[in-house]
Copies of this chain bind each other. A is one copy, B any other.
Amino acid sequence: MNPAHPLDNVRVVLSHTSHPGNIGAAARAMKTMGLKSLCLVNPKSFPDKEAERRAAGAWDILTGAMVCADLGEALSGTILAAAITARPRDLSHQVFDARRGAIELLGYARQNPVALVFGTEMSGLTTLEVSKCQMVVHIPANPEYSSLNLASAVQLLAYELRMAAEPGSFSSAIGMTSVAARFEEIELLFHHLERVAISSGFLDPQEPKRLMQRIRRLFARARLEKEEVNILRGILGACEKRMNTRGVISTDDPAMPDK
């Protein structure tokens, strides 16, 4: 049997939320990142139509939400709770930024339930609430305007947890199913390009300067695919053919200038 996915062990706790729309938006944010467990401490209005509307397709999170009378009840069974705050405070706690906090939390979530605790929209968590958590996580923000929407804060932490849960699995910056061109294919492209640059009159072979060096540098950055080399050589070949075809005639007409 597979052990539970660590994200299944993460509980999102929203304390005394004022706007039901934010509860719905938080549920949606959780679900987009694969979090499932929502706990509401004394929400102002729940259930609520506005929460349902903003939850979009995350109704399952809303309907499964647990409603608690206080934070102690909401944290029951967890082994680690992180108080999410706008800025570091209360120096008695260990303070992490969102990224490191997520990594730390997830390490524990592999075995046991952990919690993220968010306060009210207006004033965040009380000192008493923070004191019930074992760590403080702050979200790096603009010091002149750090007023994150509650659901946005949930979104960022949920995202960091997902990133921490699956390191490396989303990071490939590669163009999918394509086949990379081989060295010799790219060399033939360069020769072809140089030939056309000369026959078109753009490049003077007596004074080539660094043209081909620049072109090599450009295409080196692109990491050419086999199919792309074929396309570029196809265009070059078509230009060459058209130029040469005309060229056969022009030799019959020496008065015709080359340019």
Residues 151-195 of A contacting B (Cβ, < 8 Å): 151-152, 155-156, 159, 162-163, 166, 170-176, 193
Q: 1/0 per residue A228-249: CB within 8 Å of B?
A: 1001001101110111011111
Instruction: Select one of B32, B219, B242, B256 contacting A141, CB under 8 A.
Output: B32
Decide if B156 touches A159 in the complex (CB within 8 Å). yes
Say yes or no: B245 contacts A258, CB within 8 Å: yes
Sort chain A's interface into a size bin: 35 or more
Write out the residue numbers on chain B whose beta carbons fall within 8 Å of the beta carbon of A248: 256
Nearest CB to that of A155 among chain B residues? B152
With A95-B174, A171-B100 as known contacts, state yes or no: A259 contacts B231, CB within 8 Å. Answer: no
- Say which residue of B57, B97, B145, B196 sits within 8 Å of A170 (CB atoms): B97
Interface residues of A in 181-231 (CB under 8 A from B): 193, 196-197, 199-203, 211, 214-215, 217-219, 221-225, 227-228, 231
Number of copies of this protein chain within its complex: 2
Determine the chain B residues whose CB is within 8 A of the CB of A219 once the complex forms: 222
Determine how close the nearest CB of chain B comes to the CB of A63; give it in whole angstroms: 15
Report the minimal beta-carbon distance from A239 to chain B, rounded to whole angstroms: 4
Q: Is A109 part of the contact surface with B, judged by Cβ < 8 Å?
A: no
Chain B residues lying within 8 Å of A173, measured Cβ to Cβ, are: 94-96, 100
A228, B243: Cβ atoms closer than 8 Å? no
Interface assignment of A47: CB less than 8 Å from any CB of chain B: no
